[in-house]
Amino acid sequence: MGTANFGIAGLDWQQRVNWDRMKKYRTERAREHMKKHGLGAMLCMYDENVRYLTGTLTPGWNRLKPGLRYALLCGDGAPVLFEQGDLGFQIERHSPWIPKENIRYSYAWIKGAAGPASQSKSRSSPTRSCTR
């Protein structure tokens, strides 16, 4: 076996996977499809789509439950991630490519069902416009 190995471990002497380029590519690809279809914003509620758009991963108990976490892509800005409980804090710590102001608390919208809390506004996460 030669020294050229394309695993996922980081090395200072091989490029391997360029994660930053991949994240930018995914976001720009989503943005291109939005523009192609005349959309000003896109709300992703399935975990696979949220992961694709934000490059974040959630614990197993949170997967396959659309609406527990979601991401919003508007215009030319970075995606806004709406995350459950203290997972947002962990995302802030471990995902520096998402601006801190773009990590917000989510209200559960499991399969489109929303409770009374979805009508209220959180004091810690004021509503912001999609435009910059």
Flag whether 85 is in a domain.
yes
pLDDT value at residue 126 = 44
pLDDT tens-digit series, residues 16-54: 788 899 999 999 999 999 999 999 999 998 889 999 999
Q: With DSSP H G I counted as helix, E B as strand and the rest as coil, what are the percentages for the chain, rounded to 5? A: 35, 10, 50
Once rounded to an integer, what is the mean pLDDT over residues 116-125?
54
Tokens at 50, concatenated: 């949220």
Q: pLDDT band for 125, please (50, 70, 90 cuts).
A: very low
Determine the Cα–Cα distance for residues 52 and 33; give it in Å rounded to an integer. 14
Flag whether 83 is in a domain.
yes
* φ/ψ of residue 41, rounded to 5: -155, 160
Flag whether 121 is in a domain.
no
What residues contact 85, with CB distance under 8 A and at least 6 apart? 105
> H or E element: which one contains 90?
helix 87-94
Considering the entire predicted model, what is its pTM? 0.72
Flag whether 46 is in a domain.
yes
pLDDT at 116 over 90: no
37 lies in which domain range?
A: 19-111
pLDDT tens-digit series, residues 61-91: 767 777 788 999 998 889 999 988 888 888 8
pLDDT value at residue 19 = 87
Number of domains in the chain: 1
Task: Specify the DSSP class assigned to residue 44.
Answer: E
Residue 56 near residue 80, CB atoms below 8 Å: no
pLDDT value at residue 80 = 96
